[in-house]
Amino acid sequence: MAAATNTQMRLVVCPAAELPPGSRRIIEHEGRSIGVFNLGGQLFALKNVCPHKYAPLCEGPLTGLATGDRPGTPALERVGEIVRCPWHGWEFDIRTGRSVFNPHRVRTKSYPAGFECIEPGGGAAGSVETFAVALEDRHVVIYI
Give the separation between CA 18 and CA 34, rounded to whole angstroms: 16
Q: Sign (positive/negative) of CA torsion 105, 27, 17, 83? A: negative
Q: Are the C-beta atoms of residues 142 and 36 closer than 8 Å to each other?
A: yes
- Specify the pTM: 0.74
SS3 122: strand
Report domain extents, the chain.
10-143
According to CATH, the topology of domain 10-143 is: Rieske Iron-sulfur Protein (2.102.10)
- The one-character DSSP state at 128 is -
pLDDT at res. 108: 59
SS3 56: coil
Give the separation between CA 29 and CA 109, rounded to whole angstroms: 20
Tens place of pLDDT per residue across the chain (144 aa) = 344 555 678 889 999 999 999 999 998 988 888 899 999 999 998 888 888 888 999 999 999 988 888 888 888 889 898 999 999 888 888 877 777 776 556 555 555 554 333 333 333 344 566 778 888 888 999 888
Give the separation between CA 11 and CA 83, rounded to whole angstroms: 23
SS3 100: coil
pLDDT at res. 29: 87
E strand spans, the chain: 10-15, 24-29, 32-39, 42-47, 62-68, 74-84, 91-93, 132-136, 139-143
Give the separation between CA 44 and CA 105, rounded to whole angstroms: 21
